[in-house]
Structure 1
Amino acid sequence: MMKKYPANSPEAMARLLVMLMMSDGNMDPREIDSLETLHIYEALEISRTRFIEVLHAYCNDLSDEADEQGSIKLVDRQRIDDLLETVTEPKKQLLVATLALDMTKADKVLSEPELVIFTRMLSRWHLTLEDIEAAYAR
């Protein structure tokens, strides 16, 4: 059972980014560095320490979901949907989707699990790449 955070909270938004970071089973140091360079902590209004706490809680929740063989499904549609439902404000959804896109570009590789989660995020939240571009043209 996943830890509960208040809807639309910085922690709920951070956990979606953590899920994306962990989805390919490989925590790339560049992804952590990108959190600083992309000003993700400021954008989410969360401290670095609190973000790391959310990361640890997510990893603990995942390990609690392991089956008898110790296998963990890093990309689970129900978990993805459950976590996406924790961010309901359209402006915050757009922010998280934008940060997710920026993060996935940080390591220059969009892995299949990242793509699955990002695509689901856009679909569930009725967002397009054009929406992101229009809102956050850089």
Structure 2
Amino acid sequence: MKKYAQNSPEAAARLLVMLMVSDGNMDPRELDEIEHLHIYEALNISRKQFIQVLHDYCNDLSDEADESGQIHLIDRQRIDDLLDTVVDPKLRLLVATLALDLCKADEDISDAEMAIYAHMLDRWHLTLDDIEATFAR
């Protein structure tokens, strides 16, 4: 896996990318939602940089393919390693909020997305109530 600085915009973006591809389907509505939610601005990353993070993540997954060419989109150790690249509590809360909105973009939260999202909240000691209390408008 490509290394990004801890709490960097790229590290945060990669977590969103991980969730977006976790079900094996990149829905165009998720990409539209990135624009709609102003995720680039929220993470302080350009569109081009975000797309590069997406490209790099897909390449990293491809590099991890087993001998038969199978790619494991959900790997607990990889997920934990990526989650550990964001340690700032405010950034964690922001990423968790954006991730939830992105998961809902295609109107179907897959089992894979749900499992990873629940694990994210658990690992970061966050709850949906924390998100609501911080970002409810």
Q: Give the TM-score normalised by structure 2.
A: 0.99
Q: How does 1:71-90 map to 2 (within 5 A)?
A: 71-90=70-89
Cross-structure match for 1:114: 113
1-side partners of 2:135 and 2:105: how far apart? 17
Are 1:24 and 2:39 matched, yes or no?
A: no
The structural deviation recorded for 1:106 is: 1.0
Cross-structure match for 1:137: 136
Aligned residues: 137
Moved over 6 A (4+): none
The structural deviation recorded for 1:105 is: 1.1
1-side partners of 2:7 and 2:80: how far apart? 15
Return 5+ residue gaps in structure 2 as ranges.
none
Return 5+ residue gaps in structure 1 as ranges.
none
For the aligned residue pairs, the C-alpha RMSD in angstroms reads 0.5
Cross-structure match for 2:50: 51
Identity of aligned residues (%): 72
1-side partners of 2:86 and 2:30: how far apart? 22
2-side partners of 1:64 and 1:113: how far apart? 21
